[in-house]
Amino acid sequence: MWRILKGNNLPIPISPILPLLLIVTLCSCTVISKDINRDIELDKNTFELSKTHFRDVINLIGPPAKLSKYNKGLVFLYESIDIKERQLGLNLDYNIFRWVKFSYAKGYAERQALLLIFDKDGYLITKHYKEFKENLGSGQAINFLVSVQSLVDSSKLEEEPSSLAWGSSLLKPLPQALNYSQNLGTGESGVEQLGAPNSVGQHSLELAD
């Protein structure tokens, strides 16, 4: 294969392997998406301080992902997460390798968070909105050619609500069981975003790894 550049008299050789590699690469690209509360547009709220009641918020954007008592009032935490994992696979048409592919993946999460604090009468006194992109790391694997599976660990962003696991909390290791009254998932001690590390805040009392 040759390419002639305008103004050059000499042809420039291009290896025929390059287009083949490009075709293999394009045919082996996979994108895995996971949405968490993506139906809520947190960046388009127009809540006014001292005028918006928590009932107005719930009517407009629905119930929060987490809520808790705060002093004599309430705190709402809304989260919206869009997880993307991009995979690049390579398959070799040789021997048993034709039935498997070598995959490399990188993942990231586009996150939105809205924190609303209400006074004892239920009116909004503080609001904070933040959006950011979080790197979820990478992963490698050897898979069967027709299979697709996640290679990046995003489990920290996919925790089930604490209210669904209240019974199992009694069976947790002793440090976590003793700290349950300070747990941020009970609605008594505050709220935290998904994926918060165990080395800070109340979790540090649980002596978690």
Please tell me the predicted confidence (pLDDT) of residue 115. Answer: 92
Check the CA dihedral 6-11-17-20 and report its sign.
positive
pLDDT of residue 183: 67
Task: Write the CB contacts of 199 (distance below 8 Å, at least 6 apart in sequence).
Answer: none
Cα 165 from chain centre: 21
- Beta-carbon contacts of 103 under 8 Å, excluding residues fewer than 6 positions away, are 28, 30, 87, 88, 89, 90, 140, 141, 142, 143, 151
- The pLDDT value recorded for residue 151 is 77
User: Are the beta carbons of 57 and 47 closer than 8 angstroms?
Assistant: yes
So where are the chain's domains?
31-151, 159-209
Q: Which long-range contacts (CB under 8 A, 24 or more apart) does 178-183 make?
A: 179/205, 179/206
Q: Which two tokens stand for residue 101?
A: 């592919």
Q: What is the pLDDT of residue 13?
A: 53
Nearest to 139 by CA among 126, 125, 153: 153
Q: Which residues are registered as beta bridge partners of 140?
A: 104
How open is the CA angle 181-162-120, to the nearest 5 degrees?
A: 65
pTM: 0.69
Tokens of 135: 């790197």
Strand, coil or helix: 91: coil
Taking the chain (209 residues) in runs of 10, the rounded mean pLDDT of each run is 41 53 55 77 79 92 87 90 86 68 87 92 93 88 70 78 65 72 67 76 63
pLDDT at 117: 94
pLDDT at 3: 36
The per-residue pLDDT for 29 is 77
Burial class of residue 67 (count of CB atoms within 10 Å of its CB; 0-12, 13-18, 19+)? middle
